[in-house]
Structure formats: structure tokens, C-alpha cells
């Protein structure tokens, strides 16, 4: 019964969404206030019904109703309650439902929070948002209903992928989706602006907070995913350039470019057309990511049961959304103003360079992800593109980006003489150079490349802090005056500093890892020790045990340094009988300077265990970065300018909104 | 920064044009079944092999068992979750009287035997390939994989991933019938 109610809710949502599309787009065209209000209410109602359907699905998982197919296939009574709930979105049908739930959430949020938006524009945005919803609701109802019944009803469910039984991973898809799907707002705002032929900055103004929210969520989502890979996959890697990872990285890269170019539109009224294009492309990358993951077009056949019909459906949605958006762009964009002129050496100039680099990097990742597919099409060879490809392409393009991101914020808008730039950047240059010399000398020049990267990291962190120094005119005016200036700085500036400094920490974490990483492997019997990075690792013992839904062997490893109190690590191997599969849970000791990572391997015939151990210097920084950058985005969100109606129009944009035939 | 009109128009249309090309490529990619990994060995003679037993009191699986017959050989392992997914299909086929042989790949024979005892044993003959040597000769890239070998001992078909009812009905069963008829 509950399943049928859930299905009914989805069908209702589909009908309401159709209403939202018609009322929004047609109402805006007719300037009909009543229709505009209908679009608004429909966006909220759509969210309520999808949320209800989702809640019902969660409930079906909670009570283990195996008469419902997805529950039977993905849950089991013996599973802990927490994972019963998280298995709601640990499968195709449930995760797609989560996808539209989040899409509807953004629609409803725009409906409720976007009070200051011009009504016709808002209705168009909701109409476009509704169109996307419509496609995905149809996808769910017609190809992937989470409420399909199963007969005969099995006594026990078929479990759940044990690799996914992890708290970090349980939170990972929702956050990732918040990011992915959040970029739908960028798309809807951009397309609505194209429909209206808006040549002002209004759309960017209103879209910006949503884009930032999406960006924050995606940043955290990617970070969590990589953290999970680090301690679950058992060898200490944290990024694999796997198609699924790339699928989340591409919208992040374009979204980052979009956040920057939107800034240029808003403050300087330049890059107008380009920003609209980025808005469309960013969400297209999200759709592409969904397509890649859901069609199985690039994933290993051994991992998922692939259903080409689903892939085809999403591809059609992708073609309609992106193709429609780009076609509209082709028709409408030439009529939009080119924007204001700026000199190459200026804040805008640096942001253009930022955009060019970010888009090129995205292109590289895109190529790496889809090249195997292309080769397969042309030659029937199956190849895969791995880390070496990205090391060769991604890194050389990231380097100039890292240089620009420090210089850019130091430049003035419109035109900068470049005079005194060296002085403005002197501290960053100095610290970077000092780090280079110290590290190179400390390693006797053996790790020149890594030393260069560490210097780059120092350059970014110090350079980002210099933004604060410059904006508060520290040293040029009295300290009291600087404090006053500091207090007057808009939150966006702090957001900028945090996000940029975060990138610096990331580079430090990467370079530190490459520079000082050490690893070893030993066969240890109980009580045996092995020396490692100035410590003594002792395998105290290994004991087997059993939890609700898995069996495990747990090693107890003592880490002794000098005469101090020893630390303990408990690396585990788990065996899940329902799925006949094993997972590794590494023991990781985290310190700011580095991680000690221990994984338990097989037991040899003589009773000794294979123990692999790694030292990952500065590793934790890699993931802290996600937090720092997301925090930067969060702070920027509090900027008043995000939430006010635009108070003035740039001189060139005096054309009234909607003066183009709509 | 004011661009000439043709450039503006071109820049407006280019994204759409590029996208259409990409979308066509993706559509073909979708049609291109990732499971139909063509083996360079299809059409070539199957390697000669003699595998040790998995089940207790069993003689294993060797070339002699399939000589002169059409053989369906399934590569599995107790560690392989997709094999678990495929397993009911194999049990169904065995119940219909289809002869399927098994290669227990990169697996401890005891684990393989326990797996068969627990979930059911669809195999006529089953051998253990713990070293992975035979699988290497067959060009196995993962489990499960299924091969069809003709009476002359040549590999005629290779499937990567679980056997699905559609694949069985549309591809494998007709091929077996054709090979049985002795082309």
C-alpha cells in the first residue's frame, strides 16, 4: 500500500510540474500575475510530493518491506538501521529519486526565497527548472520506479554492497547531488536570461548565491568521496581519475570558472555572453556525470548490471537540455551586449585567464574520460586512460592557474599599470622562494619538483593572505585604521581568501605526499616488530570477531616512538557473507604533519600476517582543503550583495528587461 | 574587445555544433555494448588444459572433458560478487538441462567448494585455476565470463559479465544450437 502511495505521489508531482512549466513560461510571456503565482506554488507543491515519496521509500527500507523490488535487492533485515536508511539512495532507483528531490528542493527554495526577483524572470526560471524536473520524473516513473513490486516476496533481502557501508559514503551521494543538481539553477537562470534577452546583470545577481551553494556542496561531496577512497580501498590512494570521480570533477571545475566569471559580469559587466554559456555548460557536465554513472557507459561491466534503456533516456534528456540551451544561445547570444572593455592587465584580464585555464583543464579531463570510448568506437580496442595522462596534461595547466590566482586579486579592475605589483606580491614571493631553497637544500636537491610545488603552495597561502593586507592597507595607514578597514571588508573578500588559501593547502598536501611518502610491507607474527619512519610497529595480535552483518579479523598494532606511550591502530578486514565479499578498513593515525596508514593483508600458512604500512606526510591537508574552501564559499554567501535587489544598473545595460521579444 | 559580427555569430553557434557531434558519439557509445568485449581469441583454438578439482572426490576439469562437444565454460570465483548475481541464471540453465562447465578462477579450491555447496552447483565439470594460468590463456579480464567452444575445440563466443536471460535467448542459445547441428 505504501509503495502505491509513493508511486501516486510521484505521478502527482509529475502533473504539478507540468503545470509549473506551463504557468511559468507562458505566464511570463503573457505577463499574467495569476499564472506567475501558480508557478511559484507549483514549485513548492512539487517539492512536497517528491519529498513525501522519498520519505515513504525510506520507510519501506526501515521496515524492510521485501515486497518492494529495490528494498529486496538492496537491503536485508540484519543490516544496522543506519545503513537500512542509507541504502535508500545506495541504488539506482533510490538515488534517482534523491536526484529529483534535490532538484525540486532548489526549485522550491528559489520560489520561496527569491522574493526580490522580478516576477516574470522568476517564473521563467521556475519554468525551466520544472522542465528539467519533468524529464527526470518521467525517467523515474517510466524506467526506474523505486516502488515496483516483487512477487513472490522473498524472506530475506539480497543485502547491500558492503563497500558502501560506511558513514562517509552514506553522506557522500546526497552532498554530491546537492552540488550536481544545484548547478541546475545556473542553467535555469542562464536560459531564462536568454529567453528574456536580458542584457543586464540581474540574472547573475540572483543566480550567484545558488551557484555558490551548489559549489560548496560539490566541494564537500568530492572531498568526502576521496576521503572514503583513502581509507576504504586499502592502499592509501585518494584520487583515481576514475570516470565516476571525473564526472564529479568536471562540473566542479566549470562551476569554479562560473563563480569567477559571474563576478566579472556582476561587478564590471563584462564576459556577459561567456558567463551564460558557462552556466549552460556547467549543468550539462552534471547531466553528463549522471549519464555516465547511470548508463554504465564507462564503468566496468563487472561492477554494475547495465541497462542501456536507462542510459538512452538520460542521453535524450541531456540532448534536450544542453542542446536546447545551446541552440537558444546560438540564436540569442549575438544580440546580447559584448560588455565593457577592459585591459589585459586587470582583474578582469586575470579572471579571463582563470576561465580559459579552468575550461581547458575541464576539456582535458573530459578527453581523458571519453577518449577510451572514442577509441572503442573507432577501432574496437578497449583502452583506459590512467594517471600518467593526467599527470602530463592536468598538472602543466594547473601550474599557471596557481600563479594567476595569487596575482589576479592583487590587480585593479579595468586597468592596472602593473607598477608596484612586485612590491604587492613581495612577501609571497619571498616565502615561496625561502621554502624552495629550504626544501631543496634539506633534500639535497633530490626532490626538486616537489620542492617547487611546496614553494607554490607557500606562494598561494601567503599570497591569499596578502589580499587582506592590501585591502586593509596594513602598514600604510595606522593599525587602528587597518582594523576599521578590516571590519568593513565584505564577507566575499574573506570567502576569496579562504577558498584560495585552501587551494594552497591542497597543493602542500599533494607535494608533501609526493616528497616524503614512504611505504613498506612486512610479514609479521604476533609480537613481531618492524621499524618504520623512526617508529617501531608491533603486531600485538590479530583476533577474529563478528558484527551484525559481517565477520572480521582485526589486527592490533602498537606504534612506539622512543619511550613514550605507544599509539594503537586497528586495521581490519571484513567479510560480508550475504555478498560473499571482503573489504579492507585501514588503520590510520592522523596528525597534522602526516598520517600513518596500516593495512592488514593475508595470513600466510605459517600464521604470519602481511602488514602494509605507509607514511603520508601532510595527507590530512588534502581533505581539510575541502572544508576550508567550502567555508570560504559559505562566508561569501553571507555577502549582503547576494541577497539584495541590484541597486544600480551598469551604464551600458539601460535596455529594459524583456524588451526583446520573449 | 568589440568583436566583428561574423566572429560573434560563429562563437554563438560553435558550442551547439560541437555538442551535436558529441551527442552523436555518445549515442553510438551507448549502442556499443561494453559487455561485448571482442576477444582476440574468438575463432582461435581453445588452450589445452587440465585443472585440479574444486569439489571433494572429483577429478577436476580438462580438455578431454569437452573434446568433440560443444561446451559452455563459465569463469567464476567465490570472491566475485557479480558471479553471485549471475548464479541463479546458471542454476536455471542447469535445471533446463544445459551443460555448463566451471573454472574457479584465482580462488582457493576450498572456498570455491564452499561457495558451490552454499549456493548450489550448476556445473557439470568444474576445475580450479588458482594460478590464473588458464584464464590468462583464455584472455579473461574479470569474472564472470563465459565462453562457448565448438566441437573442433575453437572458441566461438566470449561474454564478459553475467549472462542475462536476453543474451542467453538471443545470442548464446541460438549459437549453441547451430554448433550442435554441426554447421
Cell numbers describing residue A206 = 540572483
The model carries a pTM of 0.77
Phi, psi of A648 (to 5 degrees): -145, 150
Whether residue A509 lies within 8 A of chain B, CB to CB, comes out as no
Nearest alpha carbon to residue A501 among A397, A409, A594: A409
The overall average pLDDT reported for chain B is: 82
Per-residue DSSP letter, B28: H
Map out the domains of chain B as residue ranges: 1-32, 50-180
In this predicted structure, what is the pLDDT of residue A233?
60
Test A338 with B2 for CB contact under 8 angstroms: yes
Write out A200-220 in H/E/C secondary structure: CCHHHHHHHHHHHHHHHHHHH
Nearest-CA residue of chain A relative to B30? Answer: A297
In this predicted structure, what is the pLDDT of residue A411?
84
Nearest alpha carbon to residue A122 among A44, A184, A189: A189
The string of DSSP letters for A285-324 reads: HHHHHHHHHHH-SSS-TTTS---HHHHHHHHHHHIIIIIH
Q: How far apart are CA A186 and CA A229, in angstroms?
A: 30
* CATH class held by domain B50-180: alpha beta
Phi, psi of A582 (to 5 degrees): -115, 145
Cell numbers describing residue A562 = 622512543
Measured between CA atoms, how close is B91 to chain A, in angstroms?
A: 17
Whether residue B2 lies within 8 A of chain A, CB to CB, comes out as yes
Q: Which residues pair with A591 in a beta bridge?
A: A594
A313-323, pLDDT tens digit by residue?
Answer: 888 898 999 99
The string of DSSP letters for A494-560 reads: HHHHHHHHHHHHHHHHHHHHHHH-EEEEEEE-TT-EEEETTEEEEEEEEEEEE-SS-EEEEEEEEEE
User: Could you tell me which residues come within 8 angstroms of residue A380 by beta carbon, excluding any fewer than 6 positions away?
Assistant: B38
Phi, psi of B44 (to 5 degrees): -95, 160
Phi, psi of A528 (to 5 degrees): -85, 155
A377 → closest Cβ in B32, B115, B161: B32
Test B1 with A342 for CB contact under 8 angstroms: yes
B35 → closest Cβ in A301, A311, A333: A301
Nearest alpha carbon to residue A20 among A1, A2, A45: A45
Q: Which residues pair with A572 in a beta bridge?
A: A554, A585
- Considering only residues 321 to 360 of chain A, which have any Cβ-Cβ distance to chain B shorter than 8 Å? 322-323, 326-327, 329-331, 333-334, 338-342
Nearest-CA residue of chain B relative to A312? Answer: B30
- Considering only residues 26 to 65 of chain B, which have any Cβ-Cβ distance to chain A shorter than 8 Å? 26-35, 37-38
Segments in chain A below pLDDT 50: 299-306, 647-662
Q: How far apart are CA A424 and CA A283, in angstroms?
A: 37
Whether residue A373 lies within 8 A of chain B, CB to CB, comes out as yes
Residues of B in contact with A191 (CB under 8 A): none
Contact status, residue A464 vs residue A504, Cβ threshold 8 Å: yes
Residues of B in contact with A319 (CB under 8 A): 23
B29-75, pLDDT tens digit by residue?
Answer: 666 554 454 555 677 788 888 888 888 878 889 888 888 889 999 99
Whether residue B142 lies within 8 A of chain A, CB to CB, comes out as yes
Map out the domains of chain A as residue ranges: 1-165, 203-417, 418-516, 518-620
In this predicted structure, what is the pLDDT of residue A131?
96
Architecture field, domain A1-165: Up-down Bundle (1.20)
In this predicted structure, what is the pLDDT of residue B31?
61
What kind and span of H or E run contains A434?
helix A421-442
A377 → closest Cβ in B20, B28, B81: B28
Taking the CA atoms of A168, A169, A170 and A175 in sequence, report the sign of the dihedral they define.
positive
Give which of B6, B11, B12 to mutate to test A binding, by max A Cβ within 10 Å: B12
Measured between CA atoms, how close is A340 to chain B, in angstroms?
A: 8
Say if strands B100-105 and B71-76 run parallel, antiparallel, or are unpaired. parallel
Q: Provide the CB-side half-sphere exposure for A103 (13 A, CA).
A: 30
Test A333 with B12 for CB contact under 8 angstroms: yes
Q: Give counts: helices (H), strands (E), chain B.
A: 7, 7
Q: Which residues pair with A537 in a beta bridge?
A: A530, A559
Whether residue A311 lies within 8 A of chain B, CB to CB, comes out as yes
Residues of B in contact with A370 (CB under 8 A): 25
Q: Which residues of A513-536 are buried (b: 16+ CB within 10 A; e: fewer)?
A: bebbbeeeebbbeeeebbebbebe
In this predicted structure, what is the pLDDT of residue B130?
81
Cell numbers describing residue B43 = 575463432
In this predicted structure, what is the pLDDT of residue A303?
36
A296 → closest Cβ in B34, B38, B162: B34
Test B81 with A581 for CB contact under 8 angstroms: yes
Measured between CA atoms, how close is B13 to chain A, in angstroms?
A: 5
Residues of A in contact with B30 (CB under 8 A): 295, 297, 308, 311-312, 315
Measured between CA atoms, how close is A304 to chain B, in angstroms?
A: 8
Measured between CA atoms, how close is A514 to chain B, in angstroms?
A: 31
In this predicted structure, what is the pLDDT of residue A59?
95
Phi, psi of A307 (to 5 degrees): -125, 105
Residues of B in contact with A582 (CB under 8 A): 79
A582 → closest Cβ in B3, B19, B79: B79
What kind and span of H or E run contains A19?
helix A2-30
Give which of A328, A363, A580 to mutate to test B binding, by max B Cβ within 10 Å: A580
In this predicted structure, what is the pLDDT of residue A488?
84
What ipTM does the predicted assembly reach? 0.74
| 3-class secondary-structure state, position A350 | helix
What kind and span of H or E run contains A575?
strand A572-576
Cell numbers describing residue A619 = 595527507
| 3-class secondary-structure state, position B155 | strand
Whether residue B11 lies within 8 A of chain A, CB to CB, comes out as yes
Residues of A in contact with B9 (CB under 8 A): 334
Test B25 with A373 for CB contact under 8 angstroms: yes
User: Could you tell me which residues come within 8 angstroms of residue B100 by beta carbon, excluding any fewer than 6 positions away?
Assistant: B72, B73, B74, B90, B93, B94, B122, B123, B124
Nearest-CA residue of chain A relative to B36? Answer: A301
Whether residue A318 lies within 8 A of chain B, CB to CB, comes out as yes
In this predicted structure, what is the pLDDT of residue B78?
80
- Considering only residues 76 to 105 of chain B, which have any Cβ-Cβ distance to chain A shorter than 8 Å? 78-82, 84-85
Test A338 with B1 for CB contact under 8 angstroms: yes
Test A338 with B25 for CB contact under 8 angstroms: no
A319 → closest Cβ in B23, B29, B162: B23
In this predicted structure, what is the pLDDT of residue A607?
82
Measured between CA atoms, how close is A496 to chain B, in angstroms?
A: 27
DSSP percent split of chain B into helix, strand, coil, nearest 5? 45, 20, 40
Phi, psi of A143 (to 5 degrees): -120, -20
Nearest-CA residue of chain B relative to A280? Answer: B15
| 3-class secondary-structure state, position B145 | strand
In this predicted structure, what is the pLDDT of residue A358?
93
Amino acid at each position: 500500500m505504501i509503495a502505491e502511495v509513493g508511486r501516486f505521489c510521484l505521478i502527482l508531482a509529475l502533473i504539478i510540474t507540468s503545470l509549473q512549466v506551463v504557468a511559468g513560461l507562458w505566464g511570463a510571456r503573457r505577463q499574467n500575475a495569476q499564472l506567475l503565482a501558480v508557478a511559484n506554488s507549483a514549485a513548492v507543491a512539487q517539492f512536497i510530493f517528491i519529498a513525501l515519496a522519498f520519505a515513504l521509500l525510506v520507510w519501506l527500507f526501515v521496515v524492510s518491506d521485501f515486497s518492494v523490488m529495490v528494498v529486496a535487492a538492496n537491503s536485508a533485515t540484519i543490516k544496522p538501521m543506519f545503513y537500512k536508511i542509507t541504502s535508500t539512495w545506495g541504488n539506482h532507483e533510490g538515488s534517482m529519486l534523491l536526484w529529483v528531490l534535490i532538484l525540486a528542493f532548489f526549485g522550491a527554495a528559489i520560489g520561496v526565497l527569491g522574493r526580490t526577483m522580478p516576477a516574470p524572470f522568476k517564473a521563467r526560471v521556475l519554468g525551466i527548472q520544472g522542465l528539467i524536473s519533468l524529464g527526470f520524473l518521467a525517467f523515474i516513473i517510466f524506467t526506474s520506479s523505486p516502488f515496483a513490486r516483487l512477487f513472490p516476496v522473498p524472506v530475506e533481502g539480497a543485502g547491500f554492497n558492503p563497500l558502501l557501508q560506511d558513514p562517509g559514503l552514506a553522506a557522500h551521494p546526497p552532498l554530491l547531488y546537492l552540488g550536481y543538481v544545484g548547478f541546475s539553477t545556473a542553467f535555469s537562470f542562464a536560459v531564462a536570461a536568454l529567453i528574456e534577452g536580458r542584457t543586464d546583470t540581474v540574472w547573475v545577481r540572483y543566480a550567484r548565491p545558488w551557484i555558490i551553494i551548489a559549489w560548496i556542496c560539490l566541494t564537500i561531496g568530492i572531498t568526502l568521496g576521496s576521503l572514503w577512497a583513502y581509507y576504504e580501498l586499502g592502499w592509501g590512494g585518494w584520487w583515481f581519475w576514475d570516470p565516476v570521480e571525473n564526472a564529479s570533477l568536471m562540473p566542479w571545475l566549470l562551476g569554479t570558472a562560473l563563480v569567477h566569471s559571474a563576478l566579472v559580469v556582476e561587478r564590471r559587466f563584462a564576459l556577459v555572453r561567456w558567463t551564460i554559456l558557462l552556466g549552460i555548460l556547467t549543468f550539462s557536465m552534471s547531466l553528463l556525470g549522471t549519464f555516465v554513472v547511470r548508463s554504465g557507459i564507462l564503468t566496468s561491466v563487472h561492477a554494475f548490471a547495465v541497462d542501456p534503456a536507462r542510459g538512452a533516456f538520460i542521453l535524450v534528456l541531456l540532448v534536450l537540455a544542453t542542446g536546447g540551451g545551446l541552440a537558444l544561445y546560438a540564436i540569442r547570444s549575438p544580440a546580447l551586449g559584448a560588455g565593457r572593455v577592459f585591459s589585459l592587465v586587470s582583474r578582469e584580464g586575470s579572471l579571463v585567464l582563470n576561465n580559459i585555464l579552468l575550461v581547458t583543464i575541464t576539456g582535458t579531463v573530459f578527453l581523458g574520460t571519453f577518449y577510451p570510448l572514442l577509441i572503442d568506437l573507432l577501432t574496437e580496442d578497449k583502452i583506459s586512460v590512467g594517471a600518467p595522462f593526467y599527470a602530463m596534461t592536468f598538472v602543466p595547466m594547473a601550474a599557471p592557474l596557481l600563479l594567476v590566482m595569487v596575482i589576479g586579486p592583487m590587480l585593479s579592475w579595468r586597468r592596472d599599470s602593473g607598477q608596484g605589483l612586485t612590491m604587492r606580491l613581495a612577501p609571497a614571493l619571498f616565502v615561496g622562494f625561502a621554502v624552495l631553497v629550504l626544501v631543496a637544500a634539506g633534500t639535497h636537491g633530490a626532490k626538486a619538483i616537489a620542492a617547487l610545488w611546496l614553494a607554490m603552495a607557500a606562494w598561494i597561502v601567503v599570497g591569499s593572505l596578502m589580499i587582506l593586507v592590501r585591502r586593509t592597507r596594513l602598514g600604510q595607514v595606522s593599525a587602528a585604521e587597518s582594523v576599521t578597514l578590516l571590519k568593513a571588508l565584505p564577507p566575499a573578500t574573506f570567502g576569496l581568501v579562504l577558498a584560495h588559501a585552501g587551494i594552497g593547502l591542497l597543493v602542500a598536501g599533494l607535494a608533501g605526499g609526493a616528497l616524503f611518502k614512504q611505504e613498506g610491507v612486512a610479514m609479521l607474527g604476533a609480537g613481531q616488530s618492524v621499524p618504520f619512519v623512526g617508529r617501531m610497529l608491533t603486531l600485538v595480535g590479530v583476533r577474529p570477531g563478528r558484527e551484525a552483518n559481517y565477520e572480521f579479523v582485526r589486527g592490533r598494532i602498537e606504534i612506539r616512538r622512543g619511550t613514550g606511550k605507544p599509539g594503537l591502530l586497528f586495521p581490519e578486514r571484513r567479510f560480508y557473507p550475504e555478498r560473499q565479499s571482503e573489504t579492507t578498513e585501514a588503520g590510520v593515525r592522523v596528525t597534522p604533519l602526516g598520517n600513518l596508514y596500516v593495512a592488514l593483508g593475508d595470513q600466510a600458512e605459517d600464521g604470519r600476517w602481511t602488514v602494509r604500512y605507509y607514511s603520508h606526510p601532510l595527507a590530512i591537508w588534502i581533505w581539510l582543503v575541502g572544508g576550508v574552501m567550502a567555508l570560504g564559499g559559505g562566508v561569501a554567501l553571507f555577502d549582503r550583495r547576494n541577497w539584495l535587489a541590484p541597486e544600480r544598473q551598469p551604464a551600458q545595460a539601460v535596455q529594459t528587461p524583456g524588451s526583446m521579444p520573449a | 574587445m568589440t568583436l566583428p559580427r561574423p566572429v560573434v555569430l560563429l562563437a554563438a553557434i560553435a558550442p551547439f555544433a560541437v555538442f551535436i557531434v558529441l551527442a552523436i558519439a555518445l549515442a553510438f557509445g551507448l549502442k556499443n555494448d561494453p559487455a561485448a568485449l571482442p576477444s582476440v581469441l574468438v575463432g582461435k583454438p581453445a588452450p589445452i588444459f587440465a585443472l585440479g578439482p574444486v569439489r571433494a572426490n572429483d577429478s577436476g576439469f580438462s580438455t578431454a572433458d569437452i573434446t568433440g562437444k560443444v561446451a559452455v565454460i563459465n569463469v567464476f570465483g567465490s570472491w566475485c560478487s557479480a558471479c553471485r548475481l549471475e548464479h541463479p541464471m546458471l542454476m536455471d540453465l542447469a535445471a533446463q538441462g544445459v551443460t555448463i562447465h566451471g573454472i574457479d578462477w584465482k580462488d582457493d579450491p576450498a572456498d570455491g567448494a564452499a561457495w558451490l555447496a552454499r549456493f548450489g552447483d550448476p556445473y557439470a565439470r568444474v576445475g580450479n585455476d588458482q594460478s590464473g594460468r588458464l584464464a590468462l590463456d583464455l584472455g579473461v579480464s574479470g569474472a564472470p565470463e563465459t565462453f562457448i567452444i565448438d566441437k573442433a575445440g575453437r572458441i566461438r563466443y566470449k561474454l564478459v559479465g553475467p549472462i542475462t536471460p536476453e543474451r542467453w535467448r538471443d545470442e548464446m542459445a541460438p549459437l549453441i544450437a547451430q554448433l550442435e547441428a554441426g554447421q
